[in-house]
Amino acid sequence: MRLKRCLKIKMIGYKHIVFAIVYLVSFWGFSQTREIEKTTLHYKDTLKLDYYSSKSESKLTSPLLVLMHGGGFASGKRDGKNERMFCMDMAEKGYAVASISYRLTRKNDPFNCDCDTEKKISSFVSASEDLSEALLFMKQRNDLVFDRNTIVLIGSSAGAEAALHTAFMSSDYRFSHLPKIDIAGVISFSGAVSNAAYITKDNAVPSLFIHGKKDELVPYGSAPHHYCSEDRAGYLMLDGPQTLTDHLKKQGTSFILAFDPEGNHDWADDAYLQTDLVNRFIQDLILDQKFVQAYIRLEANNQIIDTTNK
């Protein structure tokens, strides 16, 4: 396993920010050990989800975190090593957590520059459909006890793209058939969306992005998926976290962009280790509704410095 990366902190001056965030040296008080229950359920046809929760008396107020694994819509699983570790850690912090399987629509047609653009979009749609089905299933289950008003979508790579499209693309005709489900926030590990312009006042929610600026597959800014040239079948422009946060700024919505200046797509996996950052984001920006628009610099050593460049 890779060594856990630490955080170098950079705050962008913004007139509505009224407090400083210190995510490396300030940890939330969830040090007690909780007994964790795990239940596996079929939510749609052959698709399953793993539901993790603690045996605590505060379940009714526990936010629900819904995790979608990565793998280019061709591989990956809900109960991989990183996914299990992340879910257990977050459940121990007091959250209800669901890690879901979804249709791997590109299993026999890799998600690269040879994959037709419309097939790529259809993969986003299919995964968003499955995510929506899983959310409705859990909300309707009385035996799953969590705060129905606080649901946070989390995804890695392809799973992040599914989560982001579900959160922000409902006005696009290809996603307009999805049921309307209120989302309290979204967390992306190396993900992007096909058009950030669909972020509006109605769907802008607090967001956490963890991304490497030198990601060679999913852009940090706006660029073609896999950086495919325009003459390739798989040419598809995507908007990464730098562009997404620009649109969230316009809507006056809170966000944190944690970036590694030298990082690549490895952050799709490495971000699973950043449970303290994820926890503080949820506690501060979602539950306490503090207004924050911040950039945090990620590095692979133990120094903490301020920086002024995104």
**How far is 77 from 211, CA to CA, in rounded Å?**
21
Long-range contact pairs involving 114-119 (C-beta distance under 8 Å, separation at least 24): 114/232, 114/233, 114/234, 115/233, 115/234, 116/233, 116/234, 117/233, 117/234, 117/235, 117/236
Number of H helices, E strands in the chain: 6, 12
Closest C-alpha among 150, 155, 147, 270 to residue 208 = 155
Second CATH level (architecture) for the domain 6-25+47-299: 3-Layer(aba) Sandwich (3.40)
Structure-token pair, residue 297: 């610099």
51-76 CB burial, b ≥16 within 10 A, e <16: bbbbeeeeeeebbbbbbbbbbbbbeb
**Separation between Cα atoms, residue 22 and residue 280, nearest integer Å:** 10
Question: Can you list the positions of beta strands (E) in 172-292?
Answer: 185-189, 207-212, 222-224, 237-239, 255-260
Least confident of 14-28, 69-83, 241-255: 14-28
pLDDT at 305 exceeding the cut of 50: no
Q: Which pair of structure tokens corresponds to residue 208? A: 């956490």
Q: What is the structure's pLDDT at 2?
A: 40
Task: Summarize pLDDT for 246-261 with one digit per residue, the tens.
Answer: 999 999 999 999 999 9
> What pLDDT score does 171 carry?
94
- Does the pLDDT at position 136 exceed 50? yes
Closest CA to 203 of 223, 178, 224, 221: 178
Assign 54 a pLDDT band (cuts: 50, 70, 90). confident
Give the C-alpha distances (Å, rounded to integers) separating 112 from 4, 72, 127, 133, 224: 29, 9, 17, 27, 11
Q: Are the C-beta atoms of 156 and 272 separated by less than 8 Å?
A: yes
* Torsions phi, psi for 258 (to 5 deg): -100, 115
d(CA 144, CA 63): 12
Indicate if the pLDDT at residue 23 is higher than 70.
no
The one-character DSSP state at 301 is S
Residue with tokens 């052959």: 46
| Measured distance CA(163)–CA(188) in Å, rounded | 8
pLDDT at 57: 52
Taking 80 as the threshold, does the pLDDT of residue 33 lie above it? no
Here the tokens at position 139 are: 């909300």
Distances (CA, A) of 189 to 31, 45, 152, 251, 272: 25, 28, 14, 22, 8
The reported pLDDT for the residue numbered 24 is 40
Q: What is the pTM of this model?
A: 0.89
Which pLDDT belongs to residue 299?
A: 78
Is the pLDDT at 38 greater than 50? The verdict is yes
Q: Supply the pLDDT for residue 300.
A: 59
Instruction: Look up residue 298 and give its two tokens.
Output: 């990620």
pLDDT higher at 194 or 307: 194
Give the mean model confidence (pLDDT) for residues 289-294.
97
Which backbone phi and psi does 138 adopt, to 5 degrees?
A: -70, -40
Reading across the β-sheet that carries 96-100, which strands appear in turn?
6-10, 293-299, 255-260, 207-212, 185-189, 151-156, 64-68, 96-100, 47-54, 36-44
